[in-house]
Structure 1
Amino acid sequence: MDLKLTSRAEDFIDDKYFHELLQNTKEDLPKIREILAKSKTKQALTLEETATLLAIKSPEAKQELFETAKELKRSIYGKRIVLFAPLYIGNYCINNCQYCGFRSSLRKAVRRTLSEQDIVAEVTQLEKEGHKRLILVYGEHPRYTPEFIADSVRTCYNVKTGNGEIRRININAAPLDIEGFRTVKEAGIGTFQVFQETYHKETYAKYHPGPGIKSDYMWRLNAMDRAFEAGM
């Protein structure tokens, strides 16, 4: 994999500004109501407006926030909840994230990667239970190449059990380079999830000490740019 950032790559997270903004913003009910009214029109909020909502502490303001969120959700999605089933394809990982059960320092952890036959068996059972959407989960490891991920996606889509079939597959895997994102896109994935956990650099370094690619903050931060360049 080519660990090359895109031409537009930049560190757009201003830790100092965000910290000061959160520290200095106090609850202001009239302003909160103005922001909530704006949000109901589906306009994007500024950083300052977002900080104002994060400063909410009173039960009254919290209730108004929750009601607005509920109203927005229903206006966009209706009374609809979409479920997906997680399918762990493999837990080999080169990273050492301090909170993760996949981390490389867990020497006694049982490591396994599902074979094609294993995947077919798991998907067959999930289809029998009525699932139509999956999220496939992978550790970050050389064996989990974009081609491997794409092949496992195609295997899942090809499983048909009676009237059951998988209609959408999302991916939870390490961020790829541009060509890697293109490869998995061609397999027909829905969403590719990338968890940052935190954008606070000091905290990020503490919980992602290395070894492993995830210790590279900028590589992670630039993932969405690479995905967009790949057409996702």
Structure 2
Amino acid sequence: MTLSAAMPPDLRSDQALLHYISSEDPQEAEALFAAARELRSSHYGQDVYFRGLIEFSNYCRNNCYYCGIRGGNPRVERYRLSLEEILRCCRLGDLLGYRTFVFQSGEDPWFTEGRIVEMVEAVRKEFPDHAITLSIGEWGRESYEHFFRAGANRYLLRHETASEEHYRKLHPREMSLRERKQCLWDLKDIGYQVGAGFMVGTPFQTPENLLEDLRFLQELEPHMVGIGPFIPQADTPFRDYPRGSFEQTLRMVALTRLLLPRALIPATTALGTISPLGREKGLMAGANVVMPNLSPKAVRKLYALYDHKICTGDEAAECRLCMEGRIRHFGFEPNMARGDMAGWEQRKVPANAG
């Protein structure tokens, strides 16, 4: 099969998608990346949107087999940021030019619905024009509506795998792919800009599983898609499994761009962790978002989803300036605006919301 940068491939057939998922032909990959870049450029030009990431708690009730902050890991030094510490991160981010904050945590029972609402309302009051993104796991629809009404705009919830059989191999029995997918549908119906996504190269994953991920994304039509390689963490059941393929991860980024032309796709920290130019190459494969860390430097190493995570020792200003310089070197333009998805129009929670 061949590709033209001016003409994205016909990906309507499962056979074609499986070919590009599995192909290790470097010339074919480069043509795929060129097609993805051209399509991204038609909607976003060369802009790369910056989001300020605040990892405010590494407590988690879940025991996902791949995650370093899983509740069953006794070796994690746990932390929670106070509301004032969270607001200090936001103030620093605002001074550095960020207009989107991403609040991420494990599913921490201490952060009840009321405390999340309090956090969102406090950030919204101080930063009325900024985008507020939550990445805090599975909740009921009513809670999502309350967060939205408090001022949250976006929600990230990776589905991790769209295959029921594969999902069961990555998670304990009490977790459910059906429930996770329902959360995504609820979030979208409420009016959030919704982010889904998956890891590439998790244990037991097949090319057919990755095909299911792409077809689920086409069905859901999320506004954001996070894709990163699986990286093992030493204190998890998957510690001895090999990490995901860098090249295959880039192909999945490109294929996602071709299937969802207007999606906001991060060049993830995980890509940068397994390759020195990983995030830059993610941008060259069709991504258009980066998320430098605004968390206090003292806690960054404690949010250890996987081993050898990069940028845990940088100051927030250093992290932003370094990333700006690197992406400009590759011909991209840093953009600190909110960076909503092309064509997006914010809407309010339904009047009958809980």
Report the TM-score, using the length of structure 2 for normalisation.
0.49
Shift of 1:84: 0.7
**Residue 200, structure 1, aligned to residue 200, structure 2:** no
Question: Of residues 102, 105, 110 in structure 1, which corresponds to 2:69?
Answer: 102
Counterpart in the other structure of 1:74: 41
Counterpart in the other structure of 2:83: 116
For 1:123-134, what aligned pairs fall within 5 Å after superposition?
123-134=90-101
Question: 1:36, 1:65 within 8 Å by CA — same for their partners in 2?
Answer: no
Distance in 2 (alpha carbons) for counterparts of 1:36 and 1:86: 35
For 1:1-232, what aligned pairs fall within 5 Å after superposition?
28-29=1-2, 32=3, 37=7, 45-159=12-126, 167-209=130-172, 215-232=175-192
Shift of 1:205: 2.1
Deviations 1:3-25 (A, max 9, x none): xxxxxxxxxxxxxxxxxxxxxxx
Distance in 2 (alpha carbons) for counterparts of 1:46 and 1:166: 42
**Paired AA for residue 107 in structure 2:** E
The 1:132–1:148 alpha-carbon spacing in structure 2 relative to 1, beyond 3 Å, is same
The 1:59–1:168 alpha-carbon spacing in structure 2 relative to 1, beyond 3 Å, is same
Larger helix fraction of residues: 1
Shift of 1:125: 2.1
Unaligned runs of 5+ in 2: 193-354
Shift of 1:175: 2.2
Distance in 1 (alpha carbons) for counterparts of 2:131 and 2:32: 32
Distance in 1 (alpha carbons) for counterparts of 2:8 and 2:68: 41
**Paired AA for residue 113 in structure 2:** P
Deviations 1:132-155 (A, max 9, x none): 211001211333333322321222
Deviations 1:166-213 (A, max 9, x none): 611111111222111111111222320111222333432232125xx5
SS in 2 for 1:225: helix
Aligned-residue identity in percent: 22
The 1:125–1:157 alpha-carbon spacing in structure 2 relative to 1, beyond 3 Å, is same
Distance in 2 (alpha carbons) for counterparts of 1:231 and 1:132: 20
Question: 1:86, 1:136 within 8 Å by CA — same for their partners in 2?
Answer: yes
Report the TM-score, using the length of structure 1 for normalisation.
0.71
Shift of 1:50: 2.5
**Paired AA for residue 37 in structure 1:** M
Question: 2:124, 2:151 within 8 Å by CA — same for their partners in 1?
Answer: no
The 1:44–1:77 alpha-carbon spacing in structure 2 relative to 1, beyond 3 Å, is farther
Distance in 1 (alpha carbons) for counterparts of 2:47 and 2:11: 23
Unaligned runs of 5+ in 1: 1-27
The 1:181–1:96 alpha-carbon spacing in structure 2 relative to 1, beyond 3 Å, is same
Deviations 1:67-121 (A, max 9, x none): 1011001101111110111111222211011222221112242222222222222
Distance in 1 (alpha carbons) for counterparts of 2:189 and 2:96: 37
The 1:77–1:44 alpha-carbon spacing in structure 2 relative to 1, beyond 3 Å, is farther
